[in-house]
Amino acid sequence: SAVISQKPSRDICQRGTSLTIQCQVDSQVTMMFWYRQQPGQSLTLIATANQGSEATYESGFVIDKFPISRPNLTFSTLTVSNMSPEDSSIYLCSVEQYTEAFFGQGTRLTVV
């Protein structure tokens, strides 16, 4: 099974600032996925990150707000830009391996 390390695990940030979340996988994967999970809610896909090309964003999410990097097959970052309290959420990265999706432990972001 894929092992995913995500950091930071939590952070409290001032509004207007940006936070970059890192996701490291212990094996090479084609796609990496970034999700947002608001308190008590489901997982909403933000974007799909493919190495060597621009990320594909879901409806309601834009690159200027959530820029993503995918420099190689084991690593990706998600930046939450110009944060507001509405961005307070858990952000999770995910990869699929052998038909199973694995998740990082999540980043609990609080914007004050």
Partner 1 sequence: GENVEQHPSTLSVQEGDSAVIKCTYSDSASNYFPWYKQELGKRPQLIIDIRSNVGEKKDQRIAVTLNKTAKHFSLHITETQPEDSAVYFCAASRGSGTYKYIFGTGTRLKVLA
Can you give the binding site for partner 1, defined by CB under 8 A? 30-31, 33, 41-45, 48, 59, 92, 94, 96, 99-101, 103-106
The least distance separating partner 1 from the CB of residue 97, rounded to whole angstroms, comes to 9
Give the span between the Cα atoms of 12 and 96, in whole angstroms.
29
Which residues, 6 or more positions from 89, have their beta carbon under 8 angstroms from its beta carbon?
36, 37, 38, 39, 109
* Contacts of the segment 87-90: beta carbons below 8 A, 24+ positions apart: 87/111, 88/38, 89/36, 89/37, 89/38, 89/39, 90/36, 90/37, 90/38, 90/39
Closest distance to partner 1 from the beta carbon of 62 (Å): 17
Q: Minimum Å distance from CB 46 to partner 1?
A: 11
Residue 35 or 111: the one with the smaller Cβ distance to partner 1 is: 35
Residue type, 57: Y
Q: Which is nearer to partner 1, 14 or 39 (CB)?
A: 39
Q: How far is the CB of 83 from partner 1 (least distance, A)?
A: 22
Q: Which is nearer to partner 1, 33 or 66 (CB)?
A: 33
